[in-house]
Amino acid sequence: MATAVETKAILRSADAVCFDVDSTIIKEEGIDELAKFCGVGDVVAEMTHNAMGGTIPFKKALTERLAIIQPSRDQVNKLINDHPPCLTDGMMNLVDRLQQRNVQVFLISGGFHVIVDSIAARINIPLTNVYANKLKFHMNGDYAGFDETQPTAESGGKGRVISLLKKERGFKKVVMIGDGITDLEACPPADAFIGFGGNVVRQQVKEKAKWFVTSFQEITAELE
């Protein structure tokens, strides 16, 4: 993995920057908010904590948490309308700065399209640049599982998305920014990783990231 100096140089010459969403772009964990909204917050928060620590395979953790939440289409829509996720301070500014430099910005999330798409719309990121999991609903709107074929449904999925972006869109230098182990593990194929601790500091990420920041302003300043 690139040193801090190399990471900063790669950032300045990157043609794509990929962000994690939960606890990175937004201040909270989307699945935990959904669980709270559906009345099973405590159980699911504990499971999320274990999943983020890398002790449980991602798909297993996702399946188990959703089985407890059983979110309906109405509940998901109501959550987005009544409690839209809080954007992390300095986020908009960094995305604007990257886009001014003609850098493509992507959101790669283990969360759900329906929530992540609403965030992308708020920060001017095209929906074609969003990779996330898809919830499934029955005709009556009840929960019917999730699409297990999405790369983001598996451990190592973020790295697979980045490999795909390099292959399909020809990117030479891709930077991954995130708070979790799944983000750190996406480098390589990402050319550099920036650990983000502005909302939550995960010790393993802090120790292993060559460049670890606690605010987006630090990254924006590097682009000035």
Burial class (CB in 10 A: 0-12, 13-18, 19+), 131: buried
Q: Give CA angle at 52 (161, 111), nearest 5°.
A: 50
> Terminal CA-to-CA distance of the chain, rounded, Å?
24
Q: How far apart are CA 113 and CA 130, in angstroms?
A: 8
HEC string of 150-208 equals CHHHCCCHHHHHHHHHHHHHCCCCEEEEECCHHHHCCCCCCCEEEEECCCCCCHHHHHH
Cα separation values, 55 from 48, 100, 111, 161, Å: 11, 39, 18, 22
Catalytic residues: 20, 22
Cβ–Cβ under 8 Å, residues 30 and 85: yes
